[in-house]
Amino acid sequence: PNDLTPTHISWQPSVNASTHHTDRYANAELTVRRGQAFTITLYFNRPKQTGENLAFVTEIGPSPSESHRTKAVFNLSEVGASGWSAAQGPSESGYMNFTISSPANAVIGRYNLILQVTSGNKIFSRFLGQFVLLFNPWCPGDDVYMANENERQEYVLNENGIIFVGNAKYIEARGWYYGQFQDHLLNICLTMLDLSLYYRQDPAIDVSRRGDPKYVGRVITTCTLILLGKWQGSFHSHENPSRWDGSVVILQKWCQDNYKPVQYGQCWVFAGVMCTVLRCLGIPTRLVSNFNSAHDVDRNLSIDKYYDSSGKSLNISKDSTWDYHVWNESWFIRPDLGTSYNGWQVLDATPQEQSRGLFQCGPASVTAIKEGDVDLDYDTLFVYTEVNADCNRWIVYNDGTKRRVYCDTEIIGRFISTKAVGSNSRVDVTCNYKYPEGSSEERRVYKKALAKIFGTNITEGHTESPDERSSETIRNPGISGKFKLAEPPVFGKDITLILILNNLSFDHKTVKVDMSASTILYTRRPVAEILKATTSVDLGSKQGKHIQLKIPYSYYGKYLTTDKRIQVTALCEVMHMHGVKLLVEKTIILEDTNIIIKIPRRVVVNKAVTLEISYANPLPEPVNRCVLLVTLMNQQVKIHLAQLAPRERSKIYFEFTPRRTGPLQLQVDFSCDKFSHVKGFVTIAVAPA
């Protein structure tokens, strides 16, 4: 039988990849975007004869079906009901060119492509191979369509990123390598979808929903598959979340360890990995950092913190405020909510709260958060609280009674930041999330949110939780207090703080001051109390006084974590005023001695370049086991260095050859026996030869 049989297929990789913006994926199989045509060439054993008809079949998932839109059968030059179509292009006798188009809402993932030959009443099917279909931000019909090319370059195609960490007073930038196009990553991302709980419950339905970015984004926020979170206790160096500089190593390790979660992640690691996965699948995504981020477990829009009678922070509330928290925003439309909620959607992969039985969070429309529409899908209330909660501070006495204490509440949700398009600068996006603090719109939205949480019978000016637990109003103690640093706090040096107390009234006051200092994590969880002091001050009418507090390096050195944070509190009790107290607190981030990276003026592709990297020991004692890790995209070089004398700075020269033009991020991480993971990074512009 001389049946018409394809003998060879050309997937036209270079043409297809360049028109589909997929030329940087390292995988060998054809990778294209939905809603856009791609071309293939088929070679046959003989010319096609009249009466022989060709059709194509695409199939995806374990049980493809036309009713689930996971299978499509389409003849040449007619658009089938499925939205898939094929047309024949210019051909010769030995081969034929075909253009295949997918609908803009097609399921994404790995497809089988099959050729059907019909001759009279006989049908033959020939398996041609597999291709991968992705979301398409370049296609106006796609839910993830983004109109601006510079934004697409940044949020879909940029493999380098910046994460903002630190605190509201001291924002630091940290480099992160997303590497969404690197070896095996696309396969790993597709595997991740198949390992989700949703897939295990019902594979056919799960695959059929993968054309919807809302669904895919929500499934991926269950990233706890990949990383275990850990926010307390000690870390061995191989587990410290600060050691990571990018996502690729984590995803590859997860794959090599047979999909066992990698140890350990904290919020910026979860967000960095999730950004890689979403960009890899074609959903425009960026990282966003929220400073003074509330974590309100009981959902009453207020964060409660407890202290003992000497001002030491107690670990009894589930509520907390983190110095910063990092999540993702992805760009797509929300037909389920209405057009006003289109645009950026919050997805948070850090496992904090269960939503519908799983650790997952989002997509929550940023517009819905700004407008206080906390009842809308998904998890909008949780994110609204992260940027808007109130703070209450309580003192717990030895007999167990609690009293609210007066404190100038820090504002939750400050300096919400993301990396600029096309540069490394910081862009403040707070106004996307909330109206200006204290404005009438802000109060209106807050009242609307409260009404949606607690029902509409909320009285004016009421921000207490419904159980009215503070029947006693907090009395203003008539004094104000503030901690100021005498000089910038530097890791390895003694810290000098000044507590400034002011008497706001004309009466003479005696104030008893209990001071406490503890090392803490970025989640403000206490690690160890390092100092306690009590003093008493007389304040005359309208008088101000300064009290000095010194924290020597010898007190804090061995209790500091890689977060390098110390929290200082002063509980000031005005005598003869029936226990009226003022709480003053401050978080100090110790500055690391900079890693300095010097690069030549001009760096050219395929030509060796030498960098100068200088690093230092800021401590008053020698350090040993010094190691410098230099990371370039996916390659890491480990350099063992000589010990450093007290306060010594040293440098090395590092040579490498850049293999492609465009921006290249180089990251440096310095560790030794006394501290670890001091970071530096630089973005190098590699010029064409």
What positions carry a catalytic annotation?
267, 325, 348
The DSSP code for 17 is H
Q: What count of other Cβ atoms lies within 10 Å of the Cβ of residue 138?
A: 20
What lies within 8 Å, CB to CB, of 328 at 6+ separation is: 271, 274, 275, 278, 285, 286, 287, 288, 346, 347, 348, 349
The sign one gets for the Cα dihedral 40, 45, 51, 57 is negative
Q: Is 388 annotated for ligand binding?
A: yes
Show the DSSP H helices in 488-620 as ranges.
Answer: 553-556
Q: What count of other Cβ atoms lies within 10 Å of the Cβ of residue 209?
A: 17
Distance CA 59, CA 340 (A): 35
Q: What count of other Cβ atoms lies within 10 Å of the Cβ of residue 10?
A: 13
Count Cβ atoms within 10 A of the Cβ of residue 349 and give its class: 0-12 exposed, 13-18 middle, 19 or more buried. Answer: buried
Q: Which amino acid does the sequence have at 288?
A: V
Tokens in use for 374? 């906390």
Phi, psi of 233 (to 5 degrees): 75, -175
Q: Is 669 annotated for ligand binding?
A: no
3-class secondary-structure state, position 448: helix
Q: Are 39 and 13 in contact (CB under 8 A)?
A: no
- Cis amide prior to 522 (ω within 30 degrees): no
Write out the H or E segment, with its range, that includes residue 256.
helix 248-256
Tokens in use for 580? 């009226």
Distance CA 515, CA 345 (A): 43
Distance CA 372, CA 375 (A): 9
Q: Is 390 annotated for ligand binding?
A: yes
Q: Is 329 annotated for ligand binding?
A: no
Q: Are 268 and 177 in contact (CB under 8 A)?
A: no
Q: Are 557 and 540 in contact (CB under 8 A)?
A: no
Task: Pick out the residues of the known binding site.
Answer: 388, 390, 437, 442
Task: Pick out the residues of the known binding site for Ca(2+).
Answer: 388, 390, 437, 442
